[in-house]
Structure 1
Amino acid sequence: MSGLKLTPYVKRPAVGTKGQEIAVRANFFEVNKLPDVVVHHYDVTVTPDVPPPVNRKIFEQFIITFGNTDLAGARPVYDGRKSLFSPKDLKFDSKTFDIVIDTDVQPNAKRPVPVFKMKVKKVATINLEELHRFLQGKSALTNNVLTGIQALDILIRHKPGLLYSTVGRSFFTPDGKQPLDGALEVWRGFYQSARPTVGKMMINVDISATAFFQSGSLLEIIVKILRLRTPDDLRRTSPPLNWSKVEKTIKGLRITVRHRERAKRTFKIFKLTQTSARDTKFKLETTKDGKTTTSDMSVEQYFQRTYNIRLQYPTLPCVLVGRTAAVPLEVCSLVEGQRYPKKLDERQTADMIKFTCQPPHVRANIIKEGLRILNYANNEFLKDFGMKISTEMATVKGRILPAPTVSYHPSSKDANFVPVGGAWNLQGKKVAQGTTLGSWGVIVFSNERDNPPDVIKAFIRELVITCSDTGMTIPNKSPPIIYSNPHGNIENALRQIWQRAGDTVKSKPQLIMCILPNTGVPLYAEIKRVTDTVIGVSSQCIQSRHTKMAKKQYCANVCLKINVKLGGMNSHLAKGMLPILAAKPTILFGADVSHPPPGDDVRPSIASLVGSMDAHASRYAASVRVQAARTETVADLSDMAKELLKAFYQTCGRKPERIVFYRDGVSEGQFKEVLETEVQAIKAACVSLDANYKPAITFIVVQKRHHARFFPIKPQDGDRGGNCKPGLVVDTNIVHPFEFDFYLQSHAGLLGTSRPAHYCVLYDDNKFSSDDLQDFSYKLCHLYARCTRTVSMVPPAYYAHLVAARARFHSKGEQWSDNASTESSTTGAASSYSNVKPDLAKVMWFM
C-alpha cells in the first residue's frame, strides 16, 4: 500500500468549523474547462545561450519561418527557456532549426546577423486525466501532474510574454507608471499562476510592481543618477562627479543612437571611456587617389565631420558599445522597459510602497483591469488548447475566529479583556511581569548643540515615568549621560558608558540606551554588534527626533521592548486559552534562514531558531548559526534545537513532551528537502539528549510570499480600511486539493490590502484537528511582545525572522552603506561573525 500513499505530508483532517461563517472574494479565477487535448511536451535548446527575451524573439521567428511546414499549423507555447508545449503532435521527435534574427546579442561582432540553432526534442505526452484525478484527491502529485500544471502555467503566460516585459510570473506595462527617486520608475504588473485547488484548477491573478530604468536621453538619466539639476551641472569639476557610480549603474543597459536614423538597432553599454569625447582619439583611414593615409581623430571631430553634429558636451566621457566603438553621451537614448535588478534605497522603497499600497477595493478593481488586458476569452492559444477561464473572482467560505482573552498584571485596569478589531492600548495597564532596571547609562551620538542635555534629561524623565506606570521598577531615575561622535570609535564609546553606568550604582549594567542622529544603518549595525557580541549588554536605540517631544505612546512602546530585553513578560493569554500548551509541556520553535542580497556570493546565509521558554509562550530564547550562502535548510539545526531544549528544561524544570515547529521562508519546491532534513535533525537532537526521549513533533511552514488576497463582500464583514476583519481563516475552495493547509489573516491591516499567512502542515505526530491548529495559531498572534495588536504571523516565526536579520550585524569589518540595509562590501566571510554573549542568551535581546 505504501506506493499508493497520496502525499508525503499531512492529509487534511476535516475542515474547521469554529468561528462565524462569512463569504469573501479571493483573487482566484476558476478554470471552467481544462484542455481536452493530449498535450505534447518538447525540450528546447538554443545555441548560443541567450536570455529569455531574446529566446522569445527567436521563437517568434521560428513560428513565422516553420509554422506552416514543420509545425503543420500548430501553435505551441513556450516559456522562453527550455519548455515548449503543443496541442498537436509536431510530427518529429528531434530536429534542429537554423533561425536568423536581427539582434544585437552578437556572439561575434564580425557577423552582423547571427544564426541561432534551435533544437526541439520531444520528451513526453501528457494526458491531463491524471491531473483531474489529483484535483479530486484520487492521485498523488506525480511528475506527469506537475508537468500538466506547468503546461497550464506556460499557456496562460505565453501571450503576455510576447507582448510585454516579463519578470518571473508577472508581466509589466508602462501604463500608469510613476517616477521613483533617482533615474528609476515603477511599472505596474500582473502576476498569474495556475494553482491546483479542491476539485479544480484556478488561476491566481494579482497586481505586482517592479522598478525599471527611465527611458529617454542618457544625459538626463545620468543627471538623475547623480541627483543633479540639469545637464549643465555635469560640466563641473569640483567637487568631482562620481563617474564610477554612473558606470556601475548603466553598464549592460541597452541604448539607441540618434545620429544614425536608419539603424534602429540597440546597443549594449560596455563601459565609460576614461577620457572625454574631445580627448578620446582613434586612427582613421582615408583613401584619396588610391592612396591610404592614417590620421588621429577625436570622437568630437569625427561627429562634426561625418554627421555634422557639433557636440554640446565634448568634455564628458563617451560610452563604449562593443569593445571599441565610442559614442558621445548626448546622442544616446535609453531603451524603455529595462528592469532595475538591485535593491532599492530608502527613498525609492518609500515611493514604491506608496505606489503599491492600494486599499482592497482599489486592488480588486486593478485586478479586474488586469483580466481585461489578459482577455482570456479571445486568447488564440487558450482556444487551441481548449481551455476556458472564468472572469469572476471566486467566492469562498471563510470563518472569523473568536479573539482570545489577553491578560496583563492583575493590578491593571481591565486586566483581562478580549481585543476588538485586532488592537488595544496600554492605558491603565501594567505588564504581566515587570523587571527592575537598576544599572543603566545613556549615550547620545551627536553634540550638545543638536541635542541639549536638558532635552535628553526631560525625555529620560518621561520614559522613566511611563515605564514605572507600565509596571517596571526603575530605582535609578537619572542614569549617567555621555556624548559621542557618531563617526568615531563606537566600540570605545560604548565601553565607556558601560563603565560609567556600572560605577554609578556599583553593579553590572543591564541596559545601554543609545540616542541616534538618524535612521542610517552603519551606526545602528555597529552598536548592535558591540552590545550583543562584545560587551554582552542589552541596548535600546532611539532616534533623536523622538526625544524632542516625549510622547506617552512612544515611551510605552519603548518600555515594552526594554521589559522583554531584561527578561520580563509583557502579556499572556488567560487560563484555558491555549489548551495545546496546557495539556502537556510544549515548546514552540520558530526557524528562518536569511540570505545575502542577490548577486552577493561571498557573505553567508544566517539560520536562526527561537524556542518558547514558559507555559505562556510569551518568553523566548534564540540560537543563531552562520552557514553556506543560499542554503535553505538549517544546517546545524540539531545542535541549535539541543541548546534550546536544554534551556527550556532549565527554565521550566520539565522536558517538552510536544514540539510545535513553525518554519518561515520555505517555498513549495523546498518542502521535501526541508521536511526530510529538519524533522530528522530535531529527532536526532532529542535522542542525543536522552536515548528514550521522543516528543511528538508537528512541523508547519508559514508562507508570506504568495499572492492570495481576500476581499469582504458585505461592508459589515470588513474593517475601517476595507480589509477582512482579523481572525479570518480559509481552508476550503482555494487551498490544496487534499493536503493540510489554510490561510489565516490574523492582523488588522494598517495600510493597503492585508496579506494572509499561508500555513502548510508537513508533519504531525500530534494529530491536531483543523480547529486545533487554526485556533492555536490565531491566538498566538496576540502575543507579539513589541506591540499591542495582533500580528500577521505567529510570533515564533516572526521572532526567528528578527533574529536572522539582527545577526547580519554581528560581523566585524562590514562596510554597511547607508542607503540599503543589506548592501556592503563583501568582506563578511563566515569567520567574521561573532556569537551573542551568554549573558543575553536567555533573554529576548533581538527585540
Structure 2
Amino acid sequence: MSSSNAAPEQTGQLQMPGPPKRYPMARPATGSAGQPIKLLSNHFHVVIGCPDAVFYHYNVSIKTEDGHAVEGKGIGRKIMDKLYETYSSELARKSFAYDGEKSFYTVGPLPQNIFEFLVVLEGSSARYRGGTADGGSPSGSGRKRSKCSHLAKTYKVAITYAAKIPMSSIKLALKASESEQAQDAIRVLDIILRQEQAKRGCLLVRQSFFSATNANCTDLGGGVSGCRGFHSSFCATQAGLSLNMDVSTTIVLTPGPVIDFLLANQNVREPRYIDWVKAKRMLRNLRVKTRHTNMEFKIIGLSEMPCSQQLFTMKVRGSSVDGETMEITVDKYFANHHNIELAWSAHVPCLNVGKPKRPNYLPIELCTLVPLQRYTKALSGQQRASLVEKSRQKPLERIRVTSDAVKNNLYDQDPMLASCGISIKKELISLDGRVLTAPVLKVGNMEDCIPRNGRWNFNNKRLYDPVRIGRWAIVNFSARCDLSYISRELINCGRIKGIHIDQPLSLLEEDRRWVRAGPVVRVEKMLASLEARIKEKPQLILCVLPERKNCDIYGPWKKKNLHDFGVITQCIAPGRINDQYLTNVLLKINAKLGGINSLLAVEHTPCIPLINNIPTIILGMDVSHGSPGRSDVPSIAAVVSSRNWPFISRYRASVSTQAPKVEMIDCLYKSLPDGKDGGLMRKLFLDFYRTSNYQKPQQIIIFRDGVSESQFDQVLNFELNQIIKAYVGLGGSELPKVTYIVAQKTHHTKLFQDGRHENVPAGTVVDTKVVHPRHYDFYMTSHAGVIGTSRPTHYHVLLDEIGFAVDDLQKLVHSLSYVYQRSTSAVSLVAPIYYAHLAAYQMSQFVKFEDADNSSGNESNADGNAAVPELPQLHEDVEASMFFC
C-alpha cells in the first residue's frame, strides 16, 4: 500500500532480506486491573524429591521371527511386559516406562547400551495347520485352523541407548530458563502415567484414559456411548510442576451383541431391515469376541451369501482318503461340529474375520463387540446434544471427581515415579484471579447498556444502527408453520427494535411435487418459483427449513443465493416463536444487511488505547476440517478482518480451501501466474483501506484459533510472513507493527470459585500460578457459565510489537468478547475468531453437498496428488457483508 491517499495497487514486492526467525515472547508483567477473586484450579502441585535423577532413553525395535516390524501399541506393551518378566535380571531389575511404540525409558542407565532379546509370547490365538476350521469358525481356505488356548509366538526385541534426559531440566524450565530437554522430561512423566493406565486395561486416547465400567458410559443412541474418563498431564507452571487432572469424554461403540449394535445404528427393529452394504462399512476393523470359544477377532468384511448358503471347504475327518475335502455351509458346520443351531443369523451374511485371501466366517449371533472401541465417525445432531447434556458437571461435582481421581489412582505408589522422587499433593491449587469490569455498550438513541455477568438484552431498547428492509420474501421448505403469522410477528418485533420492515413481496410454500426430490432440485425449483413471482431482486429471503439441525437443503440454498444471486438469506427452523426468538433472528438479519446491533462505548468515544490513534486492523483466523475419518474433504481456511476503522465491531471474511487436515493456512499470500497476489489477505487489506478513510493499517492484531503449542513457531513465522508479504505486495513502504495472539479452547485447565459452588463470574482473568513459567499467556473466562463448568480460553501472546500494557491488552480481549453481533451475551472467545469459524463452516456447506462438481475432487495436480477443489466465490453484492453472522 502506498503512503499517499491514492488507492493501493499491485507494485511488486520490496527487495528485502528474509525475516529473522521469531520466537514466542516472554511475559512482560502481570495485570492488576479488576476485582480480586480467590480461585481454585484443577492443577495438583508436584514435589520433585530427586531433582538430580536422570532418565535414560532407549530406542526399541520389535520384529517377528521372519523380520517383519510389529505395529500396534497393545501387542507392543504385552511383549515388553513379557520381556521384563523374563529378563528382569539382565535389565538390573529396573522399572521402565514404554510408550507403546519405539521409546523406552529408565531412571538411571541399564547395564549395557545394546540388548537383543527373544521374547516368547503366549496367548489365545489361532493358527492354520491344514484341515477343517478352527476356533469354531469355518475357513474358506480348505485348511484347518486348530483351536489352541496357549499358542506361543517369538519376537525379536532390540533395545539401543539413545539419550539422557536430566530431571534438572524441569527445574531450569520452572525458573523461566530455556531448556530444550524440559519438555522431554515432562513427556517421560506423562508416559509413566499412561503406562500405568494401560496395565489396568484402560483405553488410552492421547493423554486421557477410559475404563469400561457401566458407571462411566452413557448411551447416546445409534449404537454408541459417551465414555467418561480422565485427562492427566504434567505441566510446567509458574507455581512449579503440577499435575493437570480433568474429566474427559470419548465416544465408544456400545459393547454387546453385534446385532444389537446394527439395529441401533440403522434405527431398525429387525435384522431383515438392515442395509448390509452400510453395515459392512460400519463393521470393518471392529473387534468381536465369540460366545462359543471366547476368542477375539477383527472384522474385515461380510460374506457374500447368508450363513445357510455360504460354502467353505473343510477336510473330512476320519476319511480313509488322505486329504479328502468337502464343501459345507456355515450353518451346517456349526450344527454338526458345535451343536449350535443358528436362528435368525442363518439368513443374513456372516462376519469375515480372516484374511483378504483366506476368509474365516462367524455367524453374527455368536459375536459380541468387545468394550472400549472408539467411534471416530461424525455424530448426529441428536447424539451431540445428548453427549453435551450427559457430560455436563457442575463445578462442585467436577472438583470432587477430579480430586477423587488423583487419590484413587495412587500415583505415589508407582515405582518409576517413586524412583525419581515424584509425589503429588491431593489438593487443588489455590490462586488469585481478577474480575474485569464489563465494557459499556451503546444501543439505539445513544443509550448506555451495562451488561451484568456477561449478559444484556434489548427489552425496551432499539438497535444501535437498524437497517430498513423493503424488499424481502419468505419461503417454506414444507415445515409445519404459518408464514403469515411469522411475517406479522417479525414485522412487529422489528418495529420495536427500530427495524422498519415492509410487507413481504411473497410468502411461498414449496410445491408438494418436489418434497421428495434431492436438495439441489428442491432449491432450484423454489428459487425458480420465487423468481416468477417477484421481478425485483430482494434484499433478504427468510428461509424456513423443516429440520433444525443438519438439514441437507442448507448447503445448496446458501450456495445458490450467496454465489449465484448475491442475496442475503436467513434460515430458521422455528419451534416456539416468541419475542426472544424473533429478536435473535433480527440481530442476525440486521448484522448481515449492514446494520449494527450494539457498539462498545469506547468505540464511540473513541478511546481504545493504541488503536484509535493509529490505523489498526484486527484479524480472526481459523481452519475448519472435515468430519473425523474423512480425509478426502478439503479443509476450509477463513480470515475475517475489521473494517471502518476506528470501529472494531464490523468484519468481513475471506475464505479458501486447502489440503485436508492441514492446520497451517497456506493461502494468505498466493502468487498467480501474472505476478499478482491471489491470497486471502489482499482483499482484506484493500477493504480496510477503502472503508477506513483511505488509510493503510499501520498495526495488525491477529487472533488465531486451533493451533497447539508445538505449532506456535509455524504460525509466528510461516503464516505471519505470508501476511507481511501480502502487505508489502500492495505497496507498503513501512512494515506494520504486529500483535499475534493464539486462543485455545481445547485445554484442560478449569477455574473454580474458592468456597463457592458456582462458576467463576464473567470477566475472570488469571495470569499467575497455572500459567507458563516464562511465556506471555493468560486464562480468561469472558462468558457467564450457566450450565456445567465454564471453560476459560487460554490466550498466548506470541508477539506484541504494538506494545500494549498488560491490562490494556486483557481489556481489549475482554471487550472483543462483547462485539459478537448475533448474541446478547459475552462469548467465550473473541468475536473475530467466532466469525472466522462461522465463515469457514458456512462456506464448507458449499462443497459438502456438491452434485455436479463432484468429479473435480478426483482430479490430480502436477505432483500427482489429489487436487483441492476451489470454493465457489461469493457474489460481489454480498462478499463484503457479514453473511456468516
TM-score (norm: length of structure 1) = 0.91
Matched, 1:276 2:306: yes
Taking a change above 3 Å as real, the CA distance of residues 398 and 108 of structure 1, as seen in their structure-2 partners, is: farther
CA distance in 2, matches of 1:580, 1:145: 37
Taking a change above 3 Å as real, the CA distance of residues 190 and 785 of structure 1, as seen in their structure-2 partners, is: same
Residues 62, 157 of structure 2: 8 Å contact kept: yes
Matched, 1:435 2:467: yes
Question: Which residue, 199, 209, 227 being the options, matches 1:162?
Answer: 199
| Partner residue in 2 for 1:517 | 546
Q: Which AA in structure 1 matches 2:110?
A: L
SS of the counterpart of 2:556?
helix
| Partner residue in 2 for 1:338 | 373
Question: Which residue, 367, 370, 376 being the options, matches 2:402?
Answer: 367
Q: Which AA in structure 1 matches 2:827?
A: V
| Partner residue in 2 for 1:842 | 880
Residues 522, 815 of structure 1: 8 Å contact kept: no
> Which stretches in structure 2 are left out of the alignment for 5+ residues?
1-19, 64-68, 131-144, 146-150, 670-678, 860-865
Taking a change above 3 Å as real, the CA distance of residues 810 and 650 of structure 1, as seen in their structure-2 partners, is: same
Taking the TM superposition and a 5 Å limit, the aligned residue runs for 1:138-537 are: 139-142=177-180, 144-163=181-200, 164-175=202-213, 176=215, 177-198=217-238, 200-229=240-269, 233-234=270-271, 236=272, 240-260=273-293, 264-288=294-318, 290-292=320-322, 293-313=324-344, 314-323=346-355, 324-410=359-445, 415-446=447-478, 450-451=480-481, 455-477=482-504, 479-484=506-511, 485-488=514-517, 489-496=521-528, 499=531, 502-503=534-535, 507-519=536-548, 520-537=550-567
**Shift of residue 764, structure 1, vs aligned partner:** 1.3
Taking the TM superposition and a 5 Å limit, the aligned residue runs for 1:792-811 are: 792-811=828-847
Taking a change above 3 Å as real, the CA distance of residues 109 and 32 of structure 1, as seen in their structure-2 partners, is: farther
Taking the TM superposition and a 5 Å limit, the aligned residue runs for 1:466-615 are: 466-477=493-504, 479-484=506-511, 485-488=514-517, 489-496=521-528, 499=531, 502-503=534-535, 507-519=536-548, 520-543=550-573, 545-546=574-575, 549-574=576-601, 575-576=605-606, 578-614=608-644, 615=646
Q: Which AA in structure 2 matches 1:159?
A: E
SS of the counterpart of 1:195?
strand
**Shift of residue 668, structure 1, vs aligned partner:** 0.7
Residues 263, 274 of structure 2: 8 Å contact kept: no
Taking a change above 3 Å as real, the CA distance of residues 655 and 501 of structure 1, as seen in their structure-2 partners, is: farther
Question: What root-mean-square deviation, in Å, do the aligned CA atoms of Structure 1 and Structure 2 show?
Answer: 2.4
SS of the counterpart of 2:164?
strand
SS of the counterpart of 1:837?
coil
Mean Cα deviation higher: 246-255 or 695-704: 246-255
CA distance in 1, matches of 2:280, 2:364: 12
Taking a change above 3 Å as real, the CA distance of residues 362 and 283 of structure 1, as seen in their structure-2 partners, is: same
Residues 745, 791 of structure 2: 8 Å contact kept: yes
Taking a change above 3 Å as real, the CA distance of residues 53 and 268 of structure 1, as seen in their structure-2 partners, is: same
Taking the TM superposition and a 5 Å limit, the aligned residue runs for 1:747-758 are: 747-758=783-794
Residues 480, 501 of structure 1: 8 Å contact kept: no
SS of the counterpart of 1:811?
helix
Question: Which residue, 160, 167, 172 being the options, matches 1:133?
Answer: 172
**Shift of residue 65, structure 1, vs aligned partner:** 1.2
Question: Which residue, 92, 100, 104 being the options, matches 2:112?
Answer: 92
Residues 658, 695 of structure 1: 8 Å contact kept: yes
For residues 479-522 of structure 1, the C-alpha deviation after alignment (integer angstroms, 9 at most, x for no partner) is: 4434344544234235336535752xxx4321111111112331
Residues 169, 179 of structure 2: 8 Å contact kept: no
CA distance in 1, matches of 2:849, 2:258: 37
Residues 495, 535 of structure 1: 8 Å contact kept: no
**Shift of residue 157, structure 1, vs aligned partner:** 2.3
Residues 656, 870 of structure 2: 8 Å contact kept: no
Taking a change above 3 Å as real, the CA distance of residues 289 and 428 of structure 1, as seen in their structure-2 partners, is: closer
Residues 607, 804 of structure 1: 8 Å contact kept: yes
Q: Which AA in structure 2 matches 1:281?
A: L
| Partner residue in 2 for 1:642 | 682
Question: Which residue, 618, 630, 633 being the options, matches 2:649?
Answer: 618
**Shift of residue 80, structure 1, vs aligned partner:** 1.1
SS of the counterpart of 2:241?
strand
Residues 313, 327 of structure 2: 8 Å contact kept: yes
Taking a change above 3 Å as real, the CA distance of residues 106 and 729 of structure 1, as seen in their structure-2 partners, is: farther
Residues 531, 538 of structure 1: 8 Å contact kept: yes
Matched, 1:64 2:93: no
CA distance in 1, matches of 2:232, 2:190: 8
CA distance in 1, matches of 2:335, 2:232: 51
Residues 596, 603 of structure 1: 8 Å contact kept: yes
Taking a change above 3 Å as real, the CA distance of residues 105 and 536 of structure 1, as seen in their structure-2 partners, is: farther
Mean Cα deviation higher: 369-378 or 111-120: 111-120
CA distance in 1, matches of 2:60, 2:551: 46
Taking a change above 3 Å as real, the CA distance of residues 165 and 561 of structure 1, as seen in their structure-2 partners, is: same
Question: Which residue, 35, 38, 50 being the options, matches 2:71?
Answer: 50
For residues 575-634 of structure 1, the C-alpha deviation after alignment (integer angstroms, 9 at most, x for no partner) is: 256334323221110011112223322222111110011222111111011112222221
Q: Which AA in structure 2 matches 1:145?
A: A
| Partner residue in 2 for 1:708 | 749
Taking a change above 3 Å as real, the CA distance of residues 42 and 34 of structure 1, as seen in their structure-2 partners, is: farther
Q: Which AA in structure 1 matches 2:780?
A: L
For residues 553-577 of structure 1, the C-alpha deviation after alignment (integer angstroms, 9 at most, x for no partner) is: 1111110000011111111111256
| Partner residue in 2 for 1:666 | 707
| Partner residue in 2 for 1:822 | none
Matched, 1:118 2:157: yes
CA distance in 2, matches of 1:104, 1:501: 73
| Partner residue in 1 for 2:813 | 777
CA distance in 1, matches of 2:505, 2:383: 41
Residues 6, 140 of structure 1: 8 Å contact kept: no
For residues 244-297 of structure 1, the C-alpha deviation after alignment (integer angstroms, 9 at most, x for no partner) is: 22222222122222323xxx4311112111212111112232254633443321
Residues 404, 577 of structure 1: 8 Å contact kept: no
Matched, 1:28 2:28: no
| Partner residue in 2 for 1:686 | 727
Mean Cα deviation higher: 6-15 or 246-255: 6-15
Taking a change above 3 Å as real, the CA distance of residues 601 and 678 of structure 1, as seen in their structure-2 partners, is: same
SS of the counterpart of 2:388?
helix
CA distance in 1, matches of 2:533, 2:606: 43
TM-score (norm: length of structure 2) = 0.87
| Partner residue in 1 for 2:13 | none
> Which stretches in structure 1 are left out of the alignment for 5+ residues?
817-824
